[in-house]
Amino acid sequence: MTRAESIGAGRGYVIGYLEDVDTGPEILEYIARIEATFEPYGGEWVVHGSTPEVVEGELPGSVVIIGFPTVDAVRSWYASPAYQAILALRSEHSRSVVALLTGVPDDYQASDTIAKLQAKL
């Protein structure tokens, strides 16, 4: 497999963007319980509740990023009964967007994407 073919073979991430968080008992319970849900899947905090220093555009909320060994591990965690059991604690007490992402391999370079895009031309 070439480096260009290995694009997408990297770690997995979940990114959450939260606005209008009602910081009450439900959110505090969610925060207290979430870590135990992702640890069995190899998840670890990358960013937790940081307010971004926005240098272009607008991003008025806070950001959470959790890293996993693979994107399959992210999918398994998100669908897990343990996480699904606490999801409403966040979703019913904030406006949020959650996305699952595939990271790049350790040896990734932008030229890998150029090669992949050129192959489609």
pLDDT single digits (tens) 43-89: 999 999 788 899 999 888 899 999 999 999 999 999 999 999 999 99
Torsion of CA 20, 33, 77, 43, to 10 degrees: 100
Q: Which domain holds residue 102?
A: 12-119
Does residue 93 form part of some domain?
Answer: yes
Does residue 44 form part of some domain?
Answer: yes
47 and 67 in contact (C-beta within 8 Å)? no
Into how many domains does the chain fold? 1
pLDDT at 6 over 80: no
Q: Compute the average pLDDT of residues 15-28.
A: 94
Listed in sequence order, the residues at least 6 apart from 26 whose beta carbon sits closer than 8 Å to its beta carbon are 89, 90, 92, 93
Q: Compute the average pLDDT of residues 35-39.
A: 97
Listed in sequence order, the residues at least 6 apart from 19 whose beta carbon sits closer than 8 Å to its beta carbon are 60, 61, 62, 94, 95, 96
| E strand residue ranges, 1-59 | 12-19, 44-50
Residue 120, Cα to own-chain centre: how many angstroms? 28
CATH of the domain at 102: 3.30.70.100
Does residue 51 form part of some domain?
Answer: yes
In the block, residue with structure tokens 């699952």: 100
Does residue 7 form part of some domain?
Answer: no
Q: Compute the average pLDDT of residues 94-113.
A: 91
Does residue 6 form part of some domain?
Answer: no
CA distance 74 to 60: 26
Does residue 41 form part of some domain?
Answer: yes
Does residue 70 form part of some domain?
Answer: yes
Does residue 5 form part of some domain?
Answer: no
